[in-house]
Amino acid sequence: MEVKPKPVQRKPLEWFNLKGKRVGFWAYVVMRLSAVGLVLYLFLHLVILSQLAVGPAAWDNFVALAKSPAVLLLDVVLIIGILAHGLNGIRLTLIGFGLGVPRQKLMLWIGLILTLVFGVLSALAIFAETK
């Protein structure tokens, strides 16, 4: 009697399903989310730069907008995203070339700490300048 098993449902949302997962998986989720965020930012950034081609007034309007606290806060998020992605990227490159594999978890924590430290420092710097 032909009875078909329940097929595997391939769901991209599983990339972010944290149930039962451990720290390495969290790093992978952060990597993936920051990647998507940074790609969107990159294209947004390039589009905004087109204001430079429009002329001085257009650009200086944008500069004024960019100095509003809300945008500055987004800048902090951006910097944290870059730090997390970049530092974990260093880790992935190193272990991918077989370097420091037994210490990959330690590297992960170091990356996290550096992200937080530099994230806070840059937040302080950004908001200090506006005062």
Q: How far is the CB of 55 from another protein (least distance, A)?
A: 8
Instruction: Report the distance separating Cα 121 and Cα 65, nearest Å.
Output: 23
24 binds another protein (CB under 8 A): yes
3-class secondary structure, 88: helix
69 binds another protein (CB under 8 A): no
- Token pair belonging to 56: 């001085």
31 binds another protein (CB under 8 A): yes
Which residues have CB under 8 Å from 52's CB, separation 6+?
58, 59
Among 38, 76, 110, 114, binds another protein (CB under 8 A): 38
Whether 27 and 33 have beta carbons less than 8 Å apart is answered as no
Among 77, 92, 110, 114, binds another protein (CB under 8 A): 92
For 2, 5, 105, 118, 125, the CA distances from 9, given in Å and listed in that order, are: 21, 12, 31, 40, 47
Would you tell me which residues interact with another protein (CB under 8 A)? 1, 3-8, 10-12, 14-15, 17, 19-22, 24-25, 27-28, 31-32, 35-36, 38-39, 42-43, 46, 49-50, 52-53, 55-56, 59-60, 63, 66-67, 75, 82, 86, 89-90, 92-93, 95-99, 101-102, 104-105, 126, 129-130
